Amino acid sequence: MIKVGDRIPAVNLTRVTSEGNETVAADELFSGKKVVLFAVPGAFTPTCSNAHLPGYVVNADTFFDKGVDMIACLSVNDGAVMRAWQQAQNAEQITMLADGGAAFTRALGLELDTGDFGGIRSQRYAAIVDDGVVTMLNVEAPKAFEVSDAETLLKLL
pLDDT of 24 > 80? The answer is: yes
CB distance 30 to 107 below 8 Å:
no
- The pLDDT > 70 percentage for the chain reads 100
CB 72 within 8 A of CB 35: yes
DSSP string, the chain: ---TTPBPP--EEEEEETTEEEEEEHHHHHTTSEEEEEEES-TT-HHIIIIIHHHHHHTHHHHHHTT--EEEEEESS-HHHHHHHHHHTT-TTSEEEE-TT-HHHHHHT-EEE-GGGTSEEEPPEEEEEETTEEEEEEEPPTT--SSSSHHHHHHH-
Q: Provide the residue ranges of all domains of the chain, joining segments of one domain with +.
A: 12-156
**DSSP conformation letters of 134-154:** EEEEEEPPTT--SSSSHHHHH
> What's the pLDDT at 146?
96
Tens digit of each residue's pLDDT (9 = 90 or more) over 97-151: 999 999 999 999 999 988 787 789 999 999 999 999 999 999 999 889 999 999 9
Q: Which tens digits make up the pLDDT trace of 83-108? A: 999 999 999 999 999 999 999 999 99
pLDDT of residue 113: 86
| Options 3.50.50.60, 2.60.40.1260, 3.30.465.10, 3.40.30.10; CATH of 12-156 | 3.40.30.10
Evaluate if residue 29 carries a pLDDT over 80: yes
pLDDT at 142: 87
Active site residue 73: no
Res 117: pLDDT: 75
* Per-chain mean pLDDT for the chain: 95
State how far the Cα of 73 lies from the Cα of 4, in Å rounded to an integer. 19
Of 8, 35, 37, 48, which one is the catalytic site residue? 48
